[in-house]
Homo-oligomer: A and B are copies of this chain.
Amino acid sequence: MTKELLGTDVVVQIGIIVNDIEKTAEEWAKFLGVTKPEYIITDDYELAQTEYRGKPTKAKAKLAFFSLSNIEIELIEPDDEPSTWREFLTEHGEGVHHIAFKIKGQEEKTQRLEKMGFKLVQKGEYTGGRYTYFDSFPRLKILLELLEND
């Protein structure tokens, strides 16, 4: 069971890659009947320590978040530097990139997913936590993300 694997089987987030975050956030805000949130920009490399396919990358993204009652929608507009976000946009175009689980013990959970053959494709730090993406797309048709908040 996912609960044993990851300690949770709650999907906390659906992440969507977009070309134009202002435009798509405007549309989501209209649909949800909420005020358009301001996007945030992910941290510079010094803070984010982003690694993509095992190498440091300067990649950043604009992010906007919408809360529904059981799940969060994350919009992601990547820049042109190498990242899973940019790779997805190039290969698949706009659309859903990942689902996320909120976990404790990132290293242990990462090892468990790697043991199952899911490849760690990108990781990084944000204020108060860290994320890890696994390239499960070929098998699950969606990427998996682990989020760990301190």
A2, B71: Cα distance in complex, Å? 13
Q: Is A53 an interface residue (CB 8 A)?
A: no
- Count class of interface residues, chain A: 35 or more
| Proximity string of chain A (22-59) to chain B, C-beta cutoff 8 Å, 1 when within and 0 when not | 00100110111110000000000000000000000000
B70 touches A18 (CB 8 A): no
A141 touches B10 (CB 8 A): no
A33, B5: Cα distance in complex, Å? 8
Q: How far is the CB of A126 from chain B (nearest CB, A)?
A: 23
A95, B88: Cα distance in complex, Å? 11
4 closest cross-chain pairs (CB), A and B: A96-B96, A27-B139, A1-B33, A94-B141
28 contacts between A and B (CB under 8 A): A1-B33, A1-B34, A2-B31, A2-B33, A5-B33, A8-B69, A9-B32, A9-B68, A9-B69, A10-B70, A11-B68, A11-B70, A14-B99, A16-B142, A17-B141, A24-B139, A27-B140, A28-B140, A30-B116, A31-B136, A31-B140, A71-B71, A94-B141, A95-B95, A95-B96, A96-B96, A96-B141, A96-B142
